[in-house]
Amino acid sequence: MMSVVRLVATVDRIEGEYAVLLVPIGEQETAVDWPVSLLPSGAGEGSKIKFSLSKDEDEEAAARQRVANLLKKLTEGTR
């Protein structure tokens, strides 16, 4: 079962190449520096940004396989 975390952050301000996003965590907000280049087109101070976070199980399995293959190569080469 895949769970998805959805949240809406607010662009508080732009400081050079970074935007300061206010990310809700419970009843609080936490400031997070985010590259302006990764903001949606037209986003600026006061914009609301939607995030959807989920675990990429396919990519995780592929990464595990790459590591297993590399370990196998390394251990076979030392015998």
Give residue 66's pLDDT. Answer: 94
Ranges of each domain in the chain: 4-77
Tell me the average pLDDT of the chain: 92
Over residues 37-58, mean pLDDT:
94
Q: Kindly give, in sequence order, each residue whose CB lies less than 8 Å from that of residue 51, ignoring residues fewer than 6 positions away.
A: 5, 6, 7, 8, 9
Nearest to 53 by CA among 5, 14, 15: 5
pTM comes to 0.70
CATH number of the 4-77 domain: 2.40.50
